[in-house]
């Protein structure tokens, strides 16, 4: 990227503009256009409009600094006087916002903020055109003699969970759309009222002793765990404030069969209590609006001595004021449930979510809390910056891990006391050991798993998207003339914008490829000959890698950023790890034609699994045994 831009006017775009207005602007004036994200970059490419990629102004050190600054702001409210913080039932309202959601919001805003600053200070031009929000940012830099013009006025930025994705597969077609958070909550309430009443799943007794409370668990992924609780006649209650615990037939069947009850949160609060809470909500909203005028926030939300508070203030304030009602009800209902119930243990899969934070903040010290590892991880000291995303260092109580490799890392890297670690194995994957291993037949199937580019590390340059899509074309080209092959594509089930882009890319490349999004991954791995996984970042191996190994299917893991980390599974040749320039076709053909090569990869993967996983196939039993002895 040129450090000195020579264009007399620079147009900075962070949102897709009206194409006719844009064409009219560039027709009448000499303009240099800079895109700040892939959506804008792709739009300009489609319309054949020349531009440069703004993200190219950031280097690796700056991206890492943005990530570290984001993490340092997790508890931003600790720098404000306690008397000014809105509190209800001794809980700081600000502390309840989902940490992952806050992380992405802050990181994306600093990222854009700093790119704009670098564009301004690197440019010879004094004339800039942008939306009003970007103009406001530029004014923050106090640079004299700039000519600023408004174009393509901005829309308010929504937080990640303001819109809830709804996904299902219609035959071989993945369907996805979003609904508002409020509409989702109302629909979920009606849906659960019908199904839990019909199936007698509501928890309605405070007389039960030694309850085990599972927070935000998907029953269909933990069938063995629920069965083991049932075997020991333990009283289990599920509380899911996000995705319903009865969302599909399999989940309802598991709950019913094992006598697991669902916490009916709405029944905990009477109409009279709701009216009283409304008064509290109005007071809290007033306190939030008052605090957000505090000049100290300008100092807290700074990066490299520049405040970006004015850039995020309105969106953050709107998020908190919109969610106050939800947070107050969550706090009140949780407090009431915990007070009236006899709870032995609380188990969650993370400590970042709003439900988890509320319950853990309100529980008493005599209730033991366990965080169960929920995804494949193999952290090393050189990538320890990113282990915050797995929340180990955020949680002060018991951590249930999948095996000794992660345990050693936490003890060595974070000095976590071994007494806090339960080395139980992965209850989620016990069922894999009960599945029949299906061996490849003459009609071979390749499963292509597409892990999307996400925002949480900051490595989301538009060039990465282009590179990803080029690799996708390169992979599919290897198989285009083989009529004995079936290609299946598995998209990540999460709420990632890149998923929709990938879906469109696949459709452009081939109309014959089956695309799955919510189909259980184990069903797809079972019928596949081998798995191709695209990893955008080398530090973040997908759980699909381990799941494929469990079902004895070789994995070709292609690293988009060419950063091949020497994880244990890499050193043990438990998979084929490739960078973007390697000869994919050679390894694909080798797996399809050389049985010895194929079996050697499978055998190496089994050696790795035996070292990585504890209590293979019996993790649920081990964990339940531990909990029963609390």
Q: Is the pLDDT of residue 169 over 70?
A: no
Q: What is the DSSP string of 375-413?
A: S-----GGGGGGGGGGTGGG--SEEEESSHHHHHHHHHH
CA 367 to chain centre: 28
- Rounded CA gap, 567 and 308, in Å? 38
- Rounded CA gap, 125 and 123, in Å? 5
Q: Which tens digit of pLDDT belongs to each residue from 354-402?
A: 999 999 999 999 999 999 999 998 889 999 999 998 888 888 999 999 9
Q: What is the mean pLDDT of residues 229-238?
A: 96
How sure is the predictor about 183, in pLDDT bands with cuts at 50, 70 and 90?
A: confident
Q: What is the pTM of this model?
A: 0.91
Q: How many CB atoms lie within 10 A of CB 195?
A: 18
> CA 355 → CA 99, 318, 523, distances in Å?
12, 20, 31
pLDDT score for 482: 81
Helix locations, 415-486, DSSP H:
462-477
Please provide residue 541's backbone torsions phi and psi, each rounded to the nearest 5 degrees: -70, 140
Q: What percent of the chain has pLDDT over 70?
A: 94
Radius of gyration of the chain (CA): 26
Task: Give the list of residues 6+ apart from residue 487 with CB closer than 8 angstroms, or none.
Answer: 445, 446, 448, 476, 479, 510, 512, 513, 514
- Rounded CA gap, 235 and 346, in Å? 12
Q: Is the pLDDT of residue 167 over 80?
A: no
Task: Give the list of residues 6+ apart from residue 147 with CB closer than 8 angstroms, or none.
Answer: 126, 127, 128
Lowest-confidence segment of 81-85, 428-432, 522-526, 613-617 by average pLDDT: 81-85
Burial 225-236 (b: 16+ CB within 10 A, else e): bbbbbbeeebbb
CA 68 to chain centre: 18
Q: Is the pLDDT of residue 174 over 90?
A: no
Residue 493 or residue 52, greater confidence: 52
Q: How many CB atoms lie within 10 A of CB 203?
A: 22
pLDDT score for 268: 79
pLDDT score for 186: 81
> CA 511 → CA 115, 172, 426, 515, distances in Å?
38, 11, 37, 10
pLDDT score for 36: 96
Q: Are 496 and 465 a contacting pair, CB within 8 Å? A: no
Q: What is the mean pLDDT of residues 602-625?
A: 96
Task: Give the list of residues 6+ apart from residue 480 with CB closer than 8 angstroms, or none.
Answer: none
> CA 215 → CA 151, 175, 240, distances in Å?
46, 28, 6
Q: Which tens digit of pLDDT belongs to each residue from 460-499?
A: 899 999 999 999 999 999 998 787 899 999 998 877 789 9
Strand ranges (DSSP E) for 54-103?
Answer: 87-88, 91-92
Q: What is the mean pLDDT of residues 203-230?
A: 91
Please provide residue 148's backbone torsions phi and psi, each rounded to the nearest 5 degrees: -115, 130
Please provide residue 8's backbone torsions phi and psi, each rounded to the nearest 5 degrees: -65, -30
Q: Which two tokens stand for residue 26?
A: 């560039």
How sure is the predictor about 564, in pLDDT bands with cuts at 50, 70 and 90?
A: very high
Please provide residue 53's backbone torsions phi and psi, each rounded to the nearest 5 degrees: -90, 115
pLDDT score for 3: 42
With tokens 């004036």, the residue in question is 29
How sure is the predictor about 293, in pLDDT bands with cuts at 50, 70 and 90?
A: very high
Q: Is the pLDDT of residue 6 over 60?
A: no
Torsion angle in degrees (nearest 10) through CA of 425, 428, 429, 430: 80
Q: Is the pLDDT of residue 597 over 90?
A: yes
- Rounded CA gap, 599 and 607, in Å? 12
Q: Which tens digit of pLDDT belongs to each residue from 93-114?
A: 999 999 999 999 999 999 999 9
How sure is the predictor about 151, in pLDDT bands with cuts at 50, 70 and 90?
A: confident
Q: Is the pLDDT of residue 2 over 50?
A: no
Residue 393 or residue 622, greater confidence: 622
Per-chain mean pLDDT for the chain: 90
Strand partners, 334: none
Task: Give the list of residues 6+ apart from residue 449 with CB closer than 8 angstroms, or none.
Answer: 489, 490, 521, 531, 532, 533, 534, 542, 544
The β-bridge relationship of strands 514-516 and 530-535 is unpaired
Q: Are 561 and 537 a contacting pair, CB within 8 Å? A: yes
Q: What percent of the chain has pLDDT over 90?
A: 71
Helix (H) or strand (E) holding 236: strand 236-239
Q: How many CB atoms lie within 10 A of CB 549?
A: 27
Q: Which two tokens stand for residue 440?
A: 């490849």
pLDDT score for 4: 43
Residue 626's nearest CA partner among 221, 234, 222 is 234
Q: How many CB atoms lie within 10 A of CB 9?
A: 18
Residue 157 or residue 593, greater confidence: 593
3-state secondary structure 347-379: EECCCCCHHHHHHHHHCCCCCEEEEECCCCCCC
Residue 447's nearest CA partner among 555, 541, 554, 531 is 531
- Rounded CA gap, 310 and 116, in Å? 15
Q: Which two tokens stand for residue 345?
A: 């243990």
Q: Hey, is 8 helix, strand or coil?
A: coil
The β-bridge relationship of strands 91-92 and 87-88 is antiparallel
Q: Are 622 and 372 a contacting pair, CB within 8 Å? A: no
Q: How many CB atoms lie within 10 A of CB 261?
A: 22
- Rounded CA gap, 61 and 58, in Å? 8
pLDDT score for 5: 44
Residue 385 or residue 171, greater confidence: 385
Lay out the sheet containing 9-13: strands in order across: 52-53, 32-35, 9-13, 127-130, 147-150
How sure is the predictor about 161, in pLDDT bands with cuts at 50, 70 and 90?
A: low
Residue 55 or residue 271, greater confidence: 55
Q: Hey, is 258 helix, strand or coil?
A: coil
């Amino acid at each position: 990227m040129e450090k000195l831009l020579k264009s007399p006017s620079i147009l900075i775009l962070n949102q897709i503009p009206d194409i006719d207005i844009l064409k009219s602007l560039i027709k009448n004036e000499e303009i240099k256009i800079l895109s700040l994200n892939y959506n804008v970059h792709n739009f300009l490419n489609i319309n054949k409009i020349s531009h440069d990629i703004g993200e190219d102004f950031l280097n690796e050190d700056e991206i890492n600094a943005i990530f570290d600054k984001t993490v340092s702001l997790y508890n931003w409210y600790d720098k404000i006087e306690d008397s000014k913080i809105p509190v209800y039932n001794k809980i700081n309202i600000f502390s309840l916002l989902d940490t992952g959601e806050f992380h992405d919001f802050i990181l994306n805003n600093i990222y854009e903020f700093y790119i704009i600053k670098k564009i301004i200070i690197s440019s010879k031009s004094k004339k800039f055109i942008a939306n009003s929000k970007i103009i406001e940012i530029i004014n923050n830099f106090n640079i004299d003699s700039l000519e600023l013009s408004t174009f393509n006025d901005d829309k308010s930025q929504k937080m990640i969970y303001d819109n809830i994705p709804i996904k299902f597969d219609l035959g071989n077609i993945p369907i996805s759309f979003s609904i508002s958070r409020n509409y989702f909550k109302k629909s979920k309430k009606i849906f659960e009222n019908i199904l839990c009443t019909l199936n007698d799943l509501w928890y309605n007794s405070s007389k039960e002793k030694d309850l085990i409370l599972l927070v935000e668990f998907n029953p269909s992924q933990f069938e063995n765990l629920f069965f083991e609780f049932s075997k020991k006649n333990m009283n289990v209650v599920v509380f899911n404030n996000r995705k319903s615990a009865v969302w599909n037939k399999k989940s309802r069947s598991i709950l019913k069969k094992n006598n697991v009850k669902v916490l009916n949160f709405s029944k905990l609060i009477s109409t009279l209590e709701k009216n009283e809470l409304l008064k509290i909500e109005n007071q809290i909203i007033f306190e939030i609006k008052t605090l957000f005028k505090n000049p100290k926030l300008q100092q807290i939300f700074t990066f490299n001595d520049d405040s970006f508070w004015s850039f995020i203030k309105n969106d953050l304030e709107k998020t908190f004021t919109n969610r106050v009602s939800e947070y107050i009800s969550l706090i009140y209902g949780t407090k009431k449930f915990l007070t009236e119930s006899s709870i032995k243990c609380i188990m969650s899969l993370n400590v970042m979510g709003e439900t988890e934070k509320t319950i853990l903040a309100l529980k008493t010290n005599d209730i033991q809390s366990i965080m169960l590892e929920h995804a494949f991880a193999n952290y090393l000291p050189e990538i320890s910056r990113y282990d915050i995303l797995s929340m180990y260092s955020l949680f002060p109580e018991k951590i249930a891990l999948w095996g000794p490799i992660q345990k050693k890392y936490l003890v060595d890297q974070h000095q976590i006391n071994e007494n806090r670690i339960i080395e139980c194995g992965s209850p989620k994957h016990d069922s894999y050991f009960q599945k029949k291993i299906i061996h490849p037949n003459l009609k071979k199937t390749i499963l292509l798993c597409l892990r999307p580019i996400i925002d949480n590390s900051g490595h989301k340059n538009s060039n990465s998207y282009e590179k990803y899509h080029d690799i996708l074309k390169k992979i599919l080209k290897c198989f285009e003339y083989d009529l004995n092959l079936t290609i299946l594509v598995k998209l990540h089930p999460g709420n990632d914008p890149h998923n929709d882009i990938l879906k469109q890319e696949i459709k452009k490349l081939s109309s014959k490829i089956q695309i799955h999004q919510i189909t259980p991954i184990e069903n797809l791995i079972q019928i596949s000959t081998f798995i191709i996984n695209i990893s955008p970042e080398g530090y973040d191996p997908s759980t699909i890698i381990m799941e494929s190994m469990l079902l004895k299917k070789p994995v070709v893991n292609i690293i988009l950023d060419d950063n091949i980390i020497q994880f244990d599974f890499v050193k043990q040749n438990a998979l084929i790890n490739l960078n973007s320039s390697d000869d994919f076709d050679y390894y694909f053909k080798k797996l399809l034609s050389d049985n010895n090569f194929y079996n050697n990869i499978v055998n190496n993967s089994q050696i790795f699994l035996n070292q990585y996983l504890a209590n293979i196939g019996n993790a649920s039993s081990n964990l339940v045994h531990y909990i029963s002895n609390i």
